[in-house]
């Protein structure tokens, strides 16, 4: 079977990671946000109104000899941060490193919300959650990973995101050099279409708490959105920390001494270093900094976004065992 390796290049503050993908014939390269928290592959395109395009690369199906319009199909997606996009569907060849699929559904944007328009480096998303939450109607489409899975050496992909440095997404194999110790696997509940798992505890500094809580592994979310009790316990250890409604979350003095945060999943404990949690300056005068850990209130589960994932090597395994599973390792 095949396998492939592509870079995950961070934007400023590691707010998201972008990966070059080739679409069509001759290949058109777009930098996409590989997102394990959604299941649509959508791109800025020749059909995106020019007033909504600010520097993004655009896929033009009329310039690809292998593109085919999928008549009667439309898509419309909205995300937890309030952003959204919608449009129509083509099929075309998509290459992710050495892994290709000849007739991948490429969802062409005819409308994108302002936060996408203003993000000039992000040319679209490549969804890696489960196909059941793909938004194409009337016929739901399958993700790139679902489409190539049977050709991969192993039915899995892995994330090795890094802090302020390019990381790697691998497809079809586990790079034994990319992690230390053992990979601990936990079962995935994909009933809501996400890579949802149970964390079995956390620790702040050297105080550990055996709290069990459900969360999703979401490469497309920047921060670690965790239970309120975790936030209360963590920020009580940060002098000068406060919940700022105007700034949209917990902030603290940028020179505060903040603790590491450890989450336990399976037999493995992953420690997010304090430096990852001093996420970014929260205001112009640069005195208050925004926390990389924030509450998951009213979502119904936690979101292990990039702040949490970049401390780990993660295996998104959809088929080795009867049920999908997530493997976690230190690195």
Q: Provide the binding-site residues for ligand 3AI, judged by CB under 6 A.
A: 16, 33, 35, 37-38, 78-81, 83, 125, 133, 218, 220-221, 299, 303
Least separation in angstroms between residue 127's CB and ligand 3AI is 8
Rounded to whole angstroms, how far apart are CA atoms 54 and 231? 36
Least separation in angstroms between residue 304's CB and ligand 3AI is 11
User: Between residues 193 and 273, which has the closer beta carbon with respect to ligand 3AI?
Assistant: 193
Rounded to whole angstroms, how far apart are CA atoms 84 and 116? 8
- The answer to whether 295 and 239 are in contact (CB under 8 A) is no
User: Between residues 152 and 216, which has the closer beta carbon with respect to ligand 3AI?
Assistant: 216
Strands 124-127 and 28-35: parallel
User: Between residues 215 and 324, which has the closer beta carbon with respect to ligand 3AI?
Assistant: 215
Question: What amino acid positions are annotated as catalytic residues?
Answer: 35, 218
Least separation in angstroms between residue 296's CB and ligand 3AI is 9
- The answer to whether 232 and 218 are in contact (CB under 8 A) is no
User: Between residues 125 and 224, which has the closer beta carbon with respect to ligand 3AI?
Assistant: 125
- The DSSP-derived string for 127-139 is E-S-GGG---BSS
- The answer to whether 208 and 201 are in contact (CB under 8 A) is yes
User: Between residues 5 and 143, which has the closer beta carbon with respect to ligand 3AI?
Assistant: 143
- From the CB of residue 1, how many other CB atoms can be counted at a distance below 10 Å? 13
Which residues, 6+ apart, have CB-to-CB distance to 141 below 8 Å?
40, 73, 89, 105, 107, 131, 134
Rounded to whole angstroms, how far apart are CA atoms 21 and 59? 11
Residue of minimal Cβ distance to ligand 3AI: 37
Cis omega (within 30 of 0) for bond into 119 = no
Least separation in angstroms between residue 55's CB and ligand 3AI is 16
Least separation in angstroms between residue 135's CB and ligand 3AI is 8
């Amino acid at each position: 079977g095949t396998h492939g390796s592509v870079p995950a290049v961070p934007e400023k503050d590691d707010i998201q990671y972008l990966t070059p993908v080739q679409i069509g014939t001759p290949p058109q390269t777009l930098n996409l946000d590989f997102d394990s928290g959604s299941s649509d592959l959508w791109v800025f395109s020749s059909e995106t109104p020019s007033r909504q395009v600010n520097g993004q690369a655009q896929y033009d199906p009329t310039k690809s000899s292998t593109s085919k319009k999928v008549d009667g199909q439309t898509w419309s997606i909205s995300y937890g941060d309030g952003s959204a996009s919608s449009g129509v569907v083509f099929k075309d060849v998509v290459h992710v490193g050495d892994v290709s699929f000849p007739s991948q559904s490429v969802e062409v944007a005819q409308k994108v919300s302002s936060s996408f328009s203003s993000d000039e480096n992000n040319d679209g998303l490549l969804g890696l959650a489960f196909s059941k939450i793909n938004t194409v109607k009337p016929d739901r489409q399958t993700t790139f990973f679902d489409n190539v899975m049977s050709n991969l050496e192993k039915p899995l992909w892995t994330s090795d995101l890094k802090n302020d440095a390019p990381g790697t997404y691998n497809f079809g194999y586990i790079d034994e050099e990319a992690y230390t110790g053992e990979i601990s696997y936990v079962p995935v509940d994909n009933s809501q279409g996400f890579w949802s798992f149970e964390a079995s505890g956390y620790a702040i500094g050297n105080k550990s708490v055996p709290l069990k809580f459900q969360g999703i592994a979401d490469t497309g979310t920047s921060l670690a959105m965790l239970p309120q009790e975790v936030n209360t316990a963590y920020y009580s250890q940060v002098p000068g920390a406060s919940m700022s409604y105007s700034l949209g979350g917990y902030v603290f003095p940028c020179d505060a001494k903040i603790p590491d945060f450890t989450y336990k999943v399976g037999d493995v404990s992953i420690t997010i270093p304090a430096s990852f949690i001093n996420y970014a300056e929260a205001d112009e005068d640069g005195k208050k900094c925004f926390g990389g850990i924030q509450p998951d209130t009213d979502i119904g589960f936690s979101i292990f976004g990039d702040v949490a994932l970049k401390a780990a090597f993660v295996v998104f395994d959809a088929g080795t065992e009867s049920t999908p599973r997530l493997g976690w390792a230190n690195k």
